[in-house]
């Protein structure tokens, strides 16, 4: 019997009323393993109403008590880690260990959010004027929402929900309908940890649900991660409806390999960052930029050797390096781009098409693919492939390599491998990209820093997690106060000032 994944609203599973459902596939076999409801606009509005009813009491709860709920949640996630990883792997396709990493990177942010009592502190100034004190406080927005992608079904919902909940908001999560089980299970664990019913709600859906979230006046802010066209749409629509928006889009991450780099280290980094999770990461390295012909030839040789050692198979199978793509459509799209690269004249060093995994012939598998002599006018360079495909774009010198990353329309992440400190320092200062790695291929910051790309990779003024996460989900109120001292001064018609006479 096919498993059914319900909405989670008001602290309980909620049966749908709209009748529309979507299939949830097992990417390793290509078989339907579950079905998920697609909420109607009325159903989404009911979820928002439930959240709005619950939020005031949660906002009135002290930050310390809210933090204790997060502490208990962290413990519960650790106790249920294997279950979460198995669920995640079965619906996304990533390996068991990679699935655990997905959950753990989400927990990193929750652990940072346990410090909310300190982060939410305001400022205080005495004697801003004669007998006048000024202080500020950070207050929750109310009901906020997150629209999250398939490729990190634990991490990104937790990145969004953690600071929102810790700040006193109620949170409505619309996860990807491709792998919806883990978000529901995380919501159940939050409830078990003591989070009041209605503060974290999970509603499944497609564009109808998204548009309802974007237009309902009770939603005060929307966080999104996904493709750039959708990020642009959500950002514009949310802003047009008076909401804050924090939207992160696609990427085309470069890794520059200088002639002085440790080429074995660089090759290992490119293999892991380019092909891990089948390349379905917004921080995946999809473009290698060796500087100089000698560096390029040596790097391509090392990459080719390592590609032959990669094992592709079901995520729960021991010894597998990466699993299938998430869907048949995703596989077909990547295969189409590979063919476009061939047709454009790129050198196809390794072709991952046609891979068949014994016993899992219907799975969405694609072997590691490597292109050399890629040029910037080719679609395999211009587009985010989101699959296990690495393109080598050769640069004659450092300045050309720097320009490649800086001039690309995307600006999510970039890396440089070098032994030279001056080069690394210059690169970090000058490259026009939001997150930079020095001898690190995937420069995802730790939770106390913020995560965010530039250019077409990010829309909005504030990034994810770190201090920005709390700034995004709160508003600042500033109070100027004076207690009567018994001295009557009479009416003043002069603009108050803090210098000279008066107040």
Handedness of CA 374, 379, 382, 385 (dihedral sign): negative
Distance CA 313, CA 311 (A): 7
Write out the H or E segment, with its range, that includes residue 468.
Answer: helix 466-472
Distance CA 55, CA 53 (A): 6
Can you read off the two tokens belonging to residue 234?
């959500």
Residue 35 three-state SS:
strand
Most distant pair of Cα atoms in the chain: their distance: 90
Distance CA 322, CA 95 (A): 6
113 is catalytic: no
- Which of 465, 432, 472 has its CA nearest to residue 446? 465
Beta bridge partners of 163: none
Q: What are phi and psi of 358, to 5 degrees?
A: -55, 130
Can you read off the two tokens belonging to residue 393?
């774009």
Distance CA 86, CA 314 (A): 12
Residue identified by tokens 């909420």 is 39
Q: What is the DSSP-derived secondary structure letter of residue 114?
A: T
Indicate which residue of 202, 282, 357, 390 is catalytic: 282
Distance CA 209, CA 150 (A): 16
Beta bridge partners of 168: none
Distance CA 369, CA 383 (A): 16
Provide DSSP, 473-484.
Answer: TEEEEEEEEE--
Burial 423-455 (b: 16+ CB within 10 A, else e): bbeebeeebebbbbbeeebbbbeebeebbbbeb
The answer to whether the beta carbons of residues 247 and 235 sit under 8 Å apart is yes
Q: Which residues are catalytic?
A: 282
């Amino acid at each position: 019997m096919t498993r059914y994944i319900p909405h989670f609203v008001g602290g309980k599973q909620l049966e749908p009323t709209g009748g529309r459902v979507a299939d949830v596939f097992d990417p390793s076999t290509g078989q339907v393993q579950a079905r998920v409801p697609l909420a109607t606009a009325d159903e989404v509005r009911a979820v928002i109403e439930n959240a709005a009813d619950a939020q005031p009491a949660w906002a009135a709860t002290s930050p310390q008590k809210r933090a204790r709920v997060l502490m208990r949640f962290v413990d519960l996630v650790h106790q249920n880690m294997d279950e979460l990883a198995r669920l995640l792997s079965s619906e996304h396709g990533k390996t068991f260990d990679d699935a655990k990493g997905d959950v753990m990177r989400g927990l990193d942010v929750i652990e940072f959010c346990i410090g909310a009592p300190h982060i939410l502190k305001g400022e205080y100034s005495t004697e801003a004027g004669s007998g006048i004190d000024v202080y500020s406080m950070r207050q929750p927005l109310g009901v906020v929402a997150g629209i999250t992608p398939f490729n990190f079904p634990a991490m990104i919902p937790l990145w969004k929900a953690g600071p929102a909940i810790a700040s006193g908001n109620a949170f409505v999560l619309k996860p990807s309908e491709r792998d919806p089980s883990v978000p529901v299970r995380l919501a159940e664990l939050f409830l078990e940890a003591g989070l009041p019913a209605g503060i974290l709600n999970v509603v499944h859906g497609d564009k109808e649900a998204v548009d309802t979230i974007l237009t309902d006046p009770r939603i005060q802010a929307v966080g999104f991660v996904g493709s750039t066209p959708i990020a642009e749409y959500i950002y514009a629509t949310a802003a047009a409806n008076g909401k804050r928006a924090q939207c992160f889009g696609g990427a085309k991450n470069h890794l520059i390999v200088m002639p002085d780099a440790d080429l074995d280290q660089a090759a290992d980094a490119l293999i892991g960052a380019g092909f891990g999770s089948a390349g379905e990461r917004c921080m995946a390295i999809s473009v290698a930029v060796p500087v100089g012909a000698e560096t390029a030839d040596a790097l391509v040789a090392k990459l080719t050797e390592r590609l032959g050692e990669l094992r592709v198979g079901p995520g729960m199978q021991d010894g597998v390096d990466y699993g299938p793509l998430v869907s048949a459509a995703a596989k077909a799209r990547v295969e189409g781009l590979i063919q476009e690269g061939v047709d454009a004249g790129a050198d196809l060093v390794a072709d991952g098409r046609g891979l068949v995994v014994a016993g899992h012939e219907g799975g969405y598998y694609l072997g590691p693919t490597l292109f050399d002599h890629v040029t910037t006018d080719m679609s395999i360079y211009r587009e985010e492939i989101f699959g296990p495909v690495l393109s080598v774009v050769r640069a004659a010198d450092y300045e050309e390599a720097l320009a490649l990353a800086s001039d690309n329309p995307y600006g999510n992440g970039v890396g440089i491998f070098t032994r030279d400190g001056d080069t690394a320092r210059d690169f970090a200062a000058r490259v026009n990209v939001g997150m930079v790695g020095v001898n690190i291929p995937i420069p995802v910051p730790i939770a106390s820093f913020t995560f965010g790309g530039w250019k077409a990779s990010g829309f909005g003024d504030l990034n994810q997690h770190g201090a920005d996460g709390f700034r995004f989900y709160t508003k600042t109120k500033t109070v100027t106060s004076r207690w009567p001292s018994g001295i009557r001064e009479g009416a003043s018609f002069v603009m108050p000032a803090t210098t000279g006479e008066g107040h």
